[in-house]
Structure 1
Amino acid sequence: MTATSGAQWRDANRAMWDERVPIHAASRHYDQAGFLAGGGDVNAFEVEEVGDVTGKRLVHLQCHMGQDTLSWARHGAAEVVGLDFSEPALEVARGLAAGLGFGPERASFVAADVYDAREALGGRTFDIVYTGIGALVWLPDVERWAEVAASLVAPGGFLYLAEFHPVADVLDWDTGTRFERDYLDEEAMVFDEPGTYTDGEANTRNNLNYEWNHSLGSVVSAIAATGLRIEFLHERDWTLFQKFASLEQTGRHFHQPGGVPRAPLMYSLKASRV
């Protein structure tokens, strides 16, 4: 069985995420107490690009513990639905929703693989299909993902994607200016290391995981092939964490220092159904 066939990659990734849920939930990174007190909003550029969500129905694919999902409810969405394959993560999300006073008619969470979202959501469609930062790298087939995501977009609605730029995933750690991997490589990247992004020293057991780097062209082409109309594609020269040793922090953004060739580090895309 290859890394991308059968359930091998999915089972490994789910076990890895399930184990890390309590670590993430207790971390300063997610700061759940602060979130319940009104902090921890989605990024400002996402709020600006998505626009007014008042009265809208929004589904968040690969929502993890649901904080971004619930942030859209706090911004006025009439209904938010989070979908993720980790039931422990969704238990945390449901607890947060209850803590914010959102009943299931306002905020609900569905346990399913993203490729099964259409069936898991009963064929429903939404005004906004949102997928948060750091989601696509966990999926082997971006064309299949795009087909599923597009099927959830209601007439007049749109898909919004914000992601780390795939170019950034093939550059060197020291300077972020040299290619260390093939940008067009479609093979799985296999990792087996303890810890997690909220705690690199965490003693974890389920460490095997599979990731894929999807070129920007493959993502845009996959979405365009569904019939959705690309409204914009924005590339950014900053990111949200210390991706390279050379990056300098200004507020919440990390960017290359002056005099260093800039690489795209993040991107966002909106695609509408007319």
Structure 2
Amino acid sequence: MDTSAEADEHVEDNRRHWDERVPIHVAGSFYNLDGFRAGEEDLDRFQLDEMGDVSGLDLVHLQCHIGLDTLSWARRGARVTGLDFSAPAIEAATELAEQVGLDDRARFVAADVLDAAQTLGTHRFDVVYTGTGALMWLPDITRWAATVAALLRPGGRLYLAEFHPLTGVLDDDHGATAAGDYFARGARTYTSPGTYAGWNAETVHNTTTEWHHTLGDVLSAVAGAGLRIEFVHEHATIPFQRYGALVADGGRFRYPDHAAALPLMYSLAATAPA
């Protein structure tokens, strides 16, 4: 387990990493900002079904990056707040909100997710939302869950859609055999240039640290924060080709028909006491 000082150093490395990659993500084709400006969105169908009508709800998106998912919920009628530790990401999200005419119902705040309750003051929300690729950047999942609970109004709801933690330990070619220890917690530090949105991009801040949280860790943290778990659903599709063997399926990827399928994503909803 990291000490607090070690975790802080890792988080700062991660912040520099993400700050540097924001302009690459904004300018490249991976996030398709031109398509978004034209009205397209890329939320999973299951997220739309499970979230239901968000019209008139106050929603905070933790770890929002450049704000596409945040603004997608705003387009569907929510009043949204996006929060991310990268100031350049927040600047890009704010600019995008203005470009698509949603700046009257969207605001973006630069802050560490674990400090969100203090940063946002007394404001409380109907929905706390967090999307794919977020939880692995958090050194303390218990503190995260307590933050979520502090942000919710009585009866408010956490909705989480995330990569299944099993995907982090399977082999890259087929996603069929274990290539790591599912139960190994603690920091995992990597050095890799470029970005998933442009592997050939020239970058300087290439060291990042992730923290592996099992599905049980997440569920226990949410329940331990006093939230009542409504459901946990595991899903057979993922937004990108996580393993070489996956095949395209309507803008998502899944295991081929002849292969034994494993969960690629999961979603979770939990409610605060009324």
Query: Structure 2 CA distance, aligned partners of 1:84 and 1:140?
Result: 15
TM-score in terms of structure 2 length: 0.96
Secondary structure of the structure 1 residue equivalent to 2:16: helix
Return the offset for 1:211: 0.5
1:29-68 aligned within 5 A: 29-68=30-69
Aligned residue for 2:83? 83
Return the offset for 1:177: 1.1
Query: Structure 2 CA distance, aligned partners of 1:126 and 1:203?
Result: 39
Listed as ranges, the gaps of 5+ residues in structure 2 are none
Query: Structure 2 CA distance, aligned partners of 1:174 and 1:100?
Result: 39
Aligned residue for 2:155? 156
**Any idea what the Cα deviations from partners look like across 1:227-251, whole Å, max 9, x if unmatched?**
1111110001221111111111111
Contact residue 115 and residue 145 of structure 1 kept, 8 A: yes
Query: Structure 1 CA distance, aligned partners of 2:137 and 2:2?
Result: 16
Query: Structure 2 CA distance, aligned partners of 1:6 and 1:223?
Result: 21
Q: What percentage of aligned pairs have identical amino acids?
A: 51
Code of the residue aligned with 2:213 in structure 1: it is: H
Aligned residue for 2:210? 211
Query: Structure 1 CA distance, aligned partners of 2:57 and 2:173?
Result: 43
Equivalenced residue count is: 272
Contact residue 31 and residue 40 of structure 1 kept, 8 A: no
Contact residue 75 and residue 102 of structure 2 kept, 8 A: no
After the TM superposition, which segments of 4 or more aligned residues of structure 1 sit over 3 Å from their partners?
Answer: 1-4
Query: Structure 1 CA distance, aligned partners of 2:14 and 2:122?
Result: 26
Query: Structure 1 CA distance, aligned partners of 2:218 and 2:7?
Result: 23
Listed as ranges, the gaps of 5+ residues in structure 1 are none
Contact residue 80 and residue 107 of structure 1 kept, 8 A: yes
Q: Calculate the aligned-residue CA RMSD, in Å.
A: 1.5
Secondary structure of the structure 2 residue equivalent to 1:205: coil
Return the offset for 1:2: 5.2
**Quick check: 92-101 or 16-25, which moved more?**
92-101
Query: Structure 1 CA distance, aligned partners of 2:237 and 2:44?
Result: 13
Secondary structure of the structure 2 residue equivalent to 1:115: helix
**Any idea what the Cα deviations from partners look like across 1:185-239, whole Å, max 9, x if unmatched?**
1121111110101111111100010001110000001001111111110001221
Aligned residue for 2:173? 174
Query: Structure 1 CA distance, aligned partners of 2:171 and 2:28?
Result: 28
The reply to whether residue 132 of structure 1 matches residue 161 of structure 2 is: no
Code of the residue aligned with 1:218 in structure 2: it is: D
Gap change, CA 1:12 and 1:3, over 3 Å in 2: farther
Secondary structure of the structure 2 residue equivalent to 1:249: strand
